[in-house]
């Protein structure tokens, strides 16, 4: 049986090696730091799918002494095949070469090489020495250009040099890499070493299948959430008719709390699907998703058409958060326009909308009950779905290498309103509305059939979003 493909991620200190590994193996626990020299020992991180390790990446410390190492290698007179073992034997106890020993050991063990470099800075002599060391190992090797600042002035110079030393050169940004970009990187590793071609082909298939499974799971989770939330009611006895308003308010609060809790749980479950630690994943500071589900801002932002939204303009801090989401997500999803204007007025459009209404049940005196819920405006299913989709989008774009940094907002495209559901076709929106109606009416058999259809639709929609 051929061995599992293993790649050592190697490079100069602080270029983003650990960030690349964290993203590829989806591990939030790998230590990443702005301080050079954070990683001091090599550590192997296997990717396990269905309990099987399919590929592994080794995080290594940065080069410490590349000029001396290269000098020694050039003078080495033994057979090429003994170069690494002789180096490791000779410098095993030399603290000045500890990093070189750590990073070359996995290569000697048979790992392929992924060389990570920050191409937004100029090329120096030590970089050339590092590249030459890696070439002398004779192992299959790829270079990854991780442009930390986005500066491209030195890119061509880097590429020209890299071509001399590497079988392949690719751009891959650890912090912003999407699922599709990760897949492309794995695809290109296939061409690197024939012995691993089949194994890496399987890895790519397994990754794609696993992603589809996650999307299917998320679609099932949100359908389950909607079914429960849209049928939620709170009831209580009504001892005296004049206490109706007071009891109704208490029940409405209970209902809202229950729905909020369900939504938090849904969002946590989505995070888990993508192996994000709840403590490390965070929404951008200004995101409208940070607004309470039952706030005016949420209702206004997700519930209004773009023209109304722009007409109403941005008045509240919460709506400014919507502007960030527009800028961050809009471009990629092909949605939304940036909200302009300053006039007050968003809240006016809310018009004191009753979020949940109460009704009195039962006729006999002393037997009356007040019921609050279920949510009675069809708009709710779209608000809930839009919040879910926006959260999903942030989760899949939250890199495992992204720590304490906000997503970089990108230029907004012109388009519709702040909600993906508004871009769905009529049939899809009708399906949602029918589901809302069937669940609210307590029609179990109709809602089951519609739910299956809605789930399939959402699964495809999540797949589509993953590939944007």
Ligand X SMILES: Nc1nc2c(ncn2[C@@H]2O[C@H](COP(=O)(O)OP(=O)(O)OP(=O)(O)O)[C@@H](O)[C@H]2O)c(=O)[nH]1
**Minimum distance from CB of 62 to Mg ion (Å)?**
7
**Which does residue 319 touch among Mg ion, ligand X, none (CB within 5 to 8 A, set by kind)?**
none
How many residues in the shown chain lie near Mg ion by CB under 5 A? 4
Quote the CA–CA distance of 435 and 449 in Å, as a whole number.
Answer: 9
How is residue 164 written in tokens? 């001399």
Residues in 77-116 that interact with ligand X by CB under 6 A? none
Quote the CA–CA distance of 107 and 146 in Å, as a whole number.
Answer: 21
Best CA proximity match to 438, nearest among 255, 256, 227, 259: 227
Q: What is the DSSP string of 389-447?
A: HHHHHHHHHS-TT--S-PPPP-PPPS-S-S-GGGGS-HHHHHHHHHHHHHHHTT-HHHH
Task: Pick from 5, 19, 215, 256 the residue near ligand X by CB under 6 A.
Answer: 19
Helix (H, G, I), strand (E, B) or coil at 369: strand
Task: Determine the interface stretch with Mg ion among 33-41, 335-343, 372-380, 446-454 (rule: CB under 5 A).
Answer: 33-41
**Which does residue 263 touch among ligand X, Mg ion, none (CB within 5 to 8 A, set by kind)?**
none
Best CA proximity match to 462, nearest among 204, 269, 278, 217: 217
Residues in 57-76 that interact with ligand X by CB under 6 A? 61-62
Between 14 and 86, whose beta carbon lies closer to ligand X? 14
Tell me the backbone φ, ψ of residue 47, rounded to 5 degrees.
-100, 120
Task: Pick from 4, 14, 98, 295 the residue near ligand X by CB under 6 A.
Answer: 14
Between 39 and 328, whose beta carbon lies closer to Mg ion? 39
**Minimum distance from CB of 328 to ligand X (Å)?**
16
Quote the CA–CA distance of 291 and 50 in Å, as a whole number.
Answer: 37
Q: Does 215 sit near Mg ion (CB under 5 A)?
A: no
Q: Does 69 sit near Mg ion (CB under 5 A)?
A: no
Between 64 and 466, whose beta carbon lies closer to ligand X? 64
Task: Determine the interface stretch with Mg ion among 11-19, 288-296, 322-330, 403-411 (rule: CB under 5 A).
Answer: 11-19
Q: Does 15 sit near ligand X (CB under 6 A)?
A: yes
Tell me the backbone φ, ψ of residue 266, rounded to 5 degrees.
-60, -50
**Minimum distance from CB of 44 to ligand X (Å)?**
15
Task: Pick from 22, 24, 28, 39 the residue near Mg ion by CB under 5 A.
Answer: 39
For the chain, the first-to-last Cα distance in angstroms comes to 37
3-state helix vs strand vs coil in the chain, percent to 5: 55, 10, 35
Q: Does 18 sit near Mg ion (CB under 5 A)?
A: yes
Task: Pick from 64, 173, 215, 286 the residue near ligand X by CB under 6 A.
Answer: 173
**Minimum distance from CB of 404 to ligand X (Å)?**
8
**Which does residue 46 touch among ligand X, Mg ion, none (CB within 5 to 8 A, set by kind)?**
none
How many residues in the shown chain lie near ligand X by CB under 6 A? 22
Cβ within 8 Å of residue 315, ≥6 positions away: 342, 343, 344, 345, 346, 347
Quote the CA–CA distance of 410 and 101 in Å, as a whole number.
Answer: 42
Q: Does 27 sit near Mg ion (CB under 5 A)?
A: no
The site for ligand X (CB under 6 A) is made up of 11, 13-19, 32-34, 36-39, 61-62, 146, 148, 173-175
The site for Mg ion (CB under 5 A) is made up of 17-18, 38-39
């Amino acid at each position: 049986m051929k061995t599992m493909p293993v790649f050592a991620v190697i490079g100069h200190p602080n270029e983003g090696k650990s960030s690349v590994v964290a993203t590829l193996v989806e591990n939030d626990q790998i230590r990443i730091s702005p301080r050079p020299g954070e990683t001091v020992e090599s550590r192997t991180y296997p990717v396990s799918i269905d309990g099987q390790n399919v590929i592994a990446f080794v995080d290594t410390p940065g080069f410490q002494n590349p000029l001396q190492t290269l000098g020694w290698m050039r003078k080495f007179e033994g057979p090429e095949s003994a170069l690494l073992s002789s180096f490791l034997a000779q410098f095993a106890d030399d603290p000045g070469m500890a990093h070189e020993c750590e990073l070359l050991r996995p290569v000697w063990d048979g790992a392929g090489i992924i060389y990570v470099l920050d191409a937004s800075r100029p090329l120096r002599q030590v970089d050339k020495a590092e590249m030459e060391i890696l070439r002398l190992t004779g192992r299959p090797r790829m270079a990854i250009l991780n442009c930390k600042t986005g500066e491209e002035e030195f890119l061509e110079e880097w590429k020209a040099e890299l071509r001399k030393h590497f079988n392949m050169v690719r751009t891959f940004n650890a912090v912003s890499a999407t699922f599709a970009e990760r897949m492309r990187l794995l695809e290109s590793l296939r061409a690197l070493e024939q012995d691993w071609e089949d194994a890496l082909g399987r890895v790519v298939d397994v990754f794609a299948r696993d992603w589809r499974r996650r999307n299917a799971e998320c679609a099932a989770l949100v359908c389950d959430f909607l079914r429960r939330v849209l049928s939620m009611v709170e009831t209580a006895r009504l001892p005296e008719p004049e206490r109706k308003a007071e009891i109704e308010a208490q029940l409405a609060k209970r209902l809202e709390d229950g729905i909020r809790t369900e939504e938090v749980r849904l969002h946590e479950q989505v995070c888990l699907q993508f192996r994000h630690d709840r403590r490390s994943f965070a929404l951008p500071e200004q995101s409208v998703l940070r607004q309470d589900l039952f706030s005016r801002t949420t209702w206004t932002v997700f519930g209004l058409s773009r023209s109304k939204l722009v007409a109403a303009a941005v008045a509240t801090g919460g709506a400014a958060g919507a502007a960030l989401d527009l800028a961050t997500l809009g471009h990629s999803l092909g949605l939304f326009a940036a909200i302009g204007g300053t006039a007050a007025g968003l809240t006016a459009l809310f018009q004191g909308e009753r979020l949940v209404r109460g009704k009195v049940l039962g006729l006999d005196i002393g037997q009356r009950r007040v019921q609050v819920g279920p949510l009675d405006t069809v708009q709710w299913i779209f608000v809930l779905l839009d919040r879910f989709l926006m959260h999903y989008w942030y989760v899949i774009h939250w890199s495992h290498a992204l720590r304490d940094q906000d997503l970089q907002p990108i230029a907004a495209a012109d388009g519709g309103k702040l909600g993906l559901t508004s871009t769905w076709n009529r049939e899809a929106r009708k399906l949602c509305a029918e589901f809302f109606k069937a669940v609210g009416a307590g029609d179990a058999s109709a809602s089951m059939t519609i739910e299956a259809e809605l789930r399939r639709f959402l699964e495809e929609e999540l797949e589509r979003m993953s590939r944007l």
